[in-house]
Amino acid sequence: MPFRSRLRWFLALALLNGVLLAPVWLLYGELTSRWIALEAILLAAGLSLLPSAGRLAGLRWLVVALLMAFLLVGLGDVATHLAFGRSLNLYLDLPLLRSVFHLLEGNLGFPVAGLLTLLAMVLLALATWLLAKVAASLQGTARSGLAATGALGVLVASGMLIAIEFPQSRLLPVARTPLLDTLHFQGRQLVETHRAHRDFAERMAAGPDPVAALPGLAGRDVVLVFVESYGISALLDDRYARVLGPRLEEMAERFADAGLSVASGILDSPIRGGQSWLAHATALSGLRVDNSLWYRLMLGSERTTLVDDFRATGHRTLAVMPAITMAWPEGRAYGFDEIHAAADLEYAGPPLNWVTMPDQYTLHHFQARIRQDVEPSPLFAQIALISSHAPWTPILPVLDDWDAVGDGSVFARWEDAGESPDELWQDLERVRDHYARSLDYALGASIHWAEDFVDDQTLVILLGDHQAAPLITGDNASGGVPVHVISGDARLLDPFLARGFVSGTRPPRLESYPDGEPPGQEVLRGWLHEAFGAENAPGASVTTP
């Protein structure tokens, strides 16, 4: 093989090697410890034996397609780890692509989101063209008998090494088999997820669980408030605790002055970084719903939820969802009596990047226009607070006067306050600072609402939906979220105290739970039934006289 051909072969091999190892390097930072992809050697040797013309020449496109598919899956795995703290599951995650675009659109606007999508498609096309050129440059380089023999020897030797390395029998410490590892992992996930899907579907098809009333809460308003991205790391990580610690102390003082009792604990969310609707479904249904497929199965079944339970108790049920800007058939599937999405909340102020309206406005509208206008019957409300959703800019102050909140037009003064998302996200430390401050705002607004409008006829369960992305919390953070149970009637908190919660605004440490693992959010429905679901159950004594 001429020198120029050998040089071209080795350059092409280096590029193939980089393509196969790029996702591994990005995900694990193993640039120095894992720098050989054995499949790259195999593919380079195989392409050099492939003729550059004729019917067989087109086989290079199979190699190009395989490499592009691997690269997309690998980069998708990196993105999924950064966003959700888990591996990509092709069986479950492909439908999320649409949600990713909507998130970009909400943060950056449709023109920028569209431009980024177009740019991604252009880069994809360029990568495909480049790989095709590399594959074509390798074809037919082993023309002579000696070169062909050498290429065949490399092909066989690399194949044998792959056979040894792939089952994790490491012969070469610097080598990996990223392509086969990815195919094997996704294949195993496909089988396991399909089996879990079948089991979950069978459970859903087995028939509805019976609706059970909650007589211990009859006559009382019950408000389930989810705070976006409020994970336990916000209270345990020193970077965030120095901001939120004083807010919890303020909560304790102001609630004491208002005659409110509070107990706090930790529940484990089924997800991290996003997909808040799965946490909502888990808490309402009593099932751990950690992916969109399970979510659709649950909603499409006759599975009952807390919505049904409270309706049977005599409550009017409603959802206040300021992030919902399109049709929401899931809300109808839950069976809420009322759904108050973004367009229904009569907000006259500006959207604040992804956030359609500030949390204080959401709580103000709930109190002034929904809670006060309902019939005398008690209500069960699920409220989603979204000001602590990324990109965490701008940060608003909590207004002391509820009347000043009005129709929300007062928030126009903060429309262009602070940094834009693209400026903020150039500095990860500033992003983390804004994350803590946005949570501080969400909790501040919640405290202000509770001290003014929660009484002894109200039970509030204020909890996080999930931890923030690993970019904020770190890869090894617990999936736990703080839970604060608030009421003017201290007896309503007793069942939670009996289940590991502690008095006050600070949850117990993770070490206090068996193996450091708090119970999942799915236990909430069962706890409410155990405590308030029957006359002879704990908590029955707290029924309204």
Cα separations in angstroms, 119 against 112, 114, 115, 124, 133: 10, 9, 6, 8, 21
In 372-511 the beta strands, taken as DSSP E runs, fall at 379-385, 458-464, 480-487, 502-503
Flag whether the pTM goes above 0.85: no
Preceding omega of 394 cis (within 30 degrees of 0): yes
How does DSSP assign 279-335, residue by residue?
HHHHHHHSS---SHHHHHHHHHTT---HHHHHHHHT-EEEEEETT--S--HHHHHHT
Tallying the residues shown for the chain, one arrives at 545
- Domains, in order of start, for the chain: 3-195 (no CATH), 207-533 (3.40.720.10)
Q: For residue 145, with 0-12 CB atoms within 10 Å meaning exposed, 13-18 middle and 19 or more buried, which class applies?
A: exposed
139: Cβ contacts below 8 Å, ≥ 6 apart = 47, 48, 50, 51, 52, 57, 60
DSSP three-state, residue 339: strand
Q: What is the dihedral of CA 321, 264, 487, 465, to 10 degrees?
A: 10
Residue the block writes with tokens 């062909």: 148
Give CA–CA dist 249/210, Å, rounded: 41
| 545 residues of the chain, pLDDT tens digit each | 555 656 666 777 777 787 788 887 777 665 556 677 777 777 777 777 667 666 766 677 787 788 888 888 887 777 776 666 667 777 767 766 666 656 555 555 667 667 766 777 787 788 787 777 777 777 666 566 666 676 677 677 767 777 776 666 666 667 677 787 888 788 887 887 777 777 777 776 665 677 788 999 998 999 999 999 999 999 998 889 999 999 999 999 999 999 999 999 999 999 888 888 999 999 999 889 888 777 887 787 778 899 999 999 999 999 999 988 777 778 888 889 999 999 899 999 998 888 899 999 999 999 999 988 766 679 999 999 999 998 888 999 999 999 999 999 999 999 888 788 878 888 888 889 999 999 999 999 999 999 999 999 999 999 999 998 888 887 667 789 999 999 999 999 999 999 999 999 999 988 888 887 899 999 999 999 999 986 544 444 333 32
Distances (CA, A) of 286 to 370, 425, 477, 525: 27, 37, 24, 5
Please, which residues have CB within 8 angstroms of residue 84's CB and are 6 or more apart in sequence?
271, 272, 273, 274, 275, 469
Q: Minimal CA–CA distance to 484: which of 315, 282, 234, 310?
A: 234
- Could you give phi then psi for residue 468, rounded to 5 degrees? -70, 170
Whole-number Å distance between alpha carbons of 218 and 492: 12
Lookup: tokens for 15: 């590029």
Distance CA 74, CA 22 (A): 8
| Structure tokens that stand for 388 in this block | 């602590």
Residues ≥6 apart with Cβ < 8 Å to 217:
310, 313, 459, 528, 532
